[in-house]
Structure 1
């Protein structure tokens, strides 16, 4: 995944020390063209590990989280989507990258409504981008499945750990 310039600048100053970062997940939904009453979700297959996930990304300094989600959708999949609701807030466990960099993310998962565009891997961060029926998802991590489930849950209530 491409590392934003502001993180590279921070890493020059703090080395591999723990960096707390806000992230966004965009669970983009649309009515299923194949199943009456069904819904589809937009997923990408990541180039770095081959995993299927919803669209994710790091929020730039000063950027509104919902705007970041829409930007990531367009950059990664060429899909235009509009935010509808913040659905989940979750602090992820600390992680250490192969180069020793330590990061921890606060993930903000939003439900987005599909507007336009045919999904494809638009920026090189992903191998594939495609629509999946909500009841026929590819294998994905428990965390990513939880994000999809939160985004697809009815209503506009946000869930968080308590």
Structure 2
């Protein structure tokens, strides 16, 4: 299965071939409050999609179009891939991802913006497979995640932490303490 490639990337690839390309990316971590009855043990759920190109479970991800804000891309990607109407709730981090080498030899690095998203109140929270980029979509309690890449496990944990304690949240993705910075 070939994932949909934005037209602007296709045009760039015609000029640069498979050479490394830096692209703006977005990871939309859609969370919802615990659905269990017991408030002591209740944990939030995260929306995951099973990618059609590699069979991996991930949050919704995508490439930000030229002129598009990260939160707009996250809303658009979630709608396209799952049919859900969401809104941004929090910035989880911004950082480098890659290199990613695709089957056709293309090499990409992503400057990824990760956002916690929420389903818009009053809309149906039932996800669907909205396009050919995924084969399954489902809500998963955060302590029952399937095999998932470490960066996604981290950003899901950060989304849960931010959701539970917003004032004390410190992002891990792309964040370096001032004392650790080098110039």
Distance in 2 of aligned mates of 1:31 and 1:161: 26
Which of 129-138 and 143-152 deviates more? 143-152
8 Å Cα contact 2:93/2:175 also seen in 1: no
Could you list the per-position Cα deviations for residues 106-141 of structure 1 after superposition, in whole angstroms to 9, with x for gaps in the alignment? 111101111233211101110111101112111111
Distance in 1 of aligned mates of 2:37 and 2:16: 51
8 Å Cα contact 1:25/1:110 also seen in 2: yes
8 Å Cα contact 1:88/1:151 also seen in 2: no
Q: Does 1:91 align with 2:96?
A: yes
8 Å Cα contact 2:60/2:78 also seen in 1: yes
RMSD of aligned residue pairs (Cα, Å)? 1.5
Any stretches of 5+ residues in structure 2 without a counterpart? 177-183
Determine which structure has the larger helix proportion and give its number: 2
What is the CA-CA distance between 1:31 and the residue it aligns to?
A: 1.6
| TM-score, length-scaled by structure 2 | 0.83
Distance in 2 of aligned mates of 1:44 and 1:35: 25
What is the CA-CA distance between 1:93 and the residue it aligns to?
A: 2.4
| TM-score, length-scaled by structure 1 | 0.93
8 Å Cα contact 1:86/1:111 also seen in 2: yes
Q: Residue 130 of structure 2 aligns with which residue?
A: 122
Q: Does 1:102 align with 2:110?
A: no
Distance in 2 of aligned mates of 1:89 and 1:151: 13
What is the CA-CA distance between 1:33 and the residue it aligns to?
A: 2.5
Whose relative contact order is higher, 1 or 2, with alpha carbons under 8 Å and at least 6 apart? 1
> Across the two proteins, how many residue pairs are aligned to each other?
162
